[in-house]
């Protein structure tokens, strides 16, 4: 499960919050299942803080009595593309597009690789929520995990 947490923690927010233009706190829950028969639910809380155009993400995922906290930076490349940086190293990247006829909603996608683990995720981002669906493939263990979750805005430093 710990490897699932690490993937989900990175996965969920990477592009969602690159689309956010303000510091904020979100919380929510999700469901996961694996190709090896496992399944369950989890809770998420996360904080987004501004670092210029970049966002520093601190996220905690709790599954039963297990919890994992991860911090990383979503590095702004331009209005569409971003990089995911951990410990000074780029581990992935992605993009966001505005939803047609909307100035506040975005659809985002990203991928990252670390060792034999590959993560992909797609997100729907609104001013007060983020919904996502993603997958992780661990080639060494022939393990595929999929998840979906929804987070709601709890607190924001948005000046609007």
pLDDT digits (tens, 9 = 90+) for 42-76: 999 988 898 888 989 888 999 888 999 988 889 99
The parent domain of residue 47 ranges over 2-156
Integer-rounded Cα Rg, in Å, for the chain is 15
pLDDT tens per residue, range 72-104: 889 999 989 999 998 889 999 999 999 988 888
Integer Cα distance of 122 and 107 in angstroms: 7
6 φ/ψ angles, rounded to the nearest 5 degrees: -60, -45
Name the domain count of the chain: 1
Integer Cα distance of 4 and 135 in angstroms: 10
Please report which confidence band the pLDDT of residue 158 belongs to, taking 50, 70 and 90 as the band edges.
low
Q: Which residues have C-beta within 8 Å of that of residue 138, sequence separation ≥ 6?
A: 3, 116, 117, 144, 145
What is the domain-level CATH number for residue 17? 2.40.128.20
Q: Which residues have C-beta within 8 Å of that of residue 107, sequence separation ≥ 6?
A: 96, 97, 99, 122, 123, 124, 125
In the 8-state DSSP scheme, what is residue 105? Answer: -
pLDDT tens per residue, range 104-148: 899 999 998 888 899 999 999 888 998 999 999 999 999 999 999
Tokens of 130: 């983020």
Mean pLDDT score of the chain, rounded to an integer? Answer: 84
Provide the pLDDT for residue 50. Answer: 87
Integer Cα distance of 103 and 117 in angstroms: 35
Strands 143-156 and 24-34: antiparallel
Q: Are 123 and 74 in contact (CB under 8 A)?
A: no
Report helix, strand or coil for 115: coil
């Amino acid at each position: 499960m710990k490897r699932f947490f690490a993937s989900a923690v990175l996965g969920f927010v990477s592009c969602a919050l690159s689309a956010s233009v303000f510091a904020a706190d979100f919380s929510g829950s999700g469901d996961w299942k694996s190709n090896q028969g496992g399944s369950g639910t989890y809770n998420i809380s996360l904080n987004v803080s501004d670092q210029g155009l970049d966002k520093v993400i601190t996220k905690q995922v709790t599954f039963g009595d297990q919890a994992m906290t991860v911090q990383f930076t979503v590095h702004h490349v331009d209005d569409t593309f971003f990089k995911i940086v951990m410990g000074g190293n780029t581990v992935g990247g992605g993009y966001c597009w505005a939803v047609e006829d909307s100035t506040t909603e975005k659809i985002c996608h990203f991928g990252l690789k670390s060792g034999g683990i590959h993560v992909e995720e797609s997100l729907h981002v609104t001013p007060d929520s983020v919904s996502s669906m993603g997958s992780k493939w661990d080639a060494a263990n022939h393990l595929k995990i999929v998840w979906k979750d929804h987070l709601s805005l709890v607190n924001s430093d948005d000046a609007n």
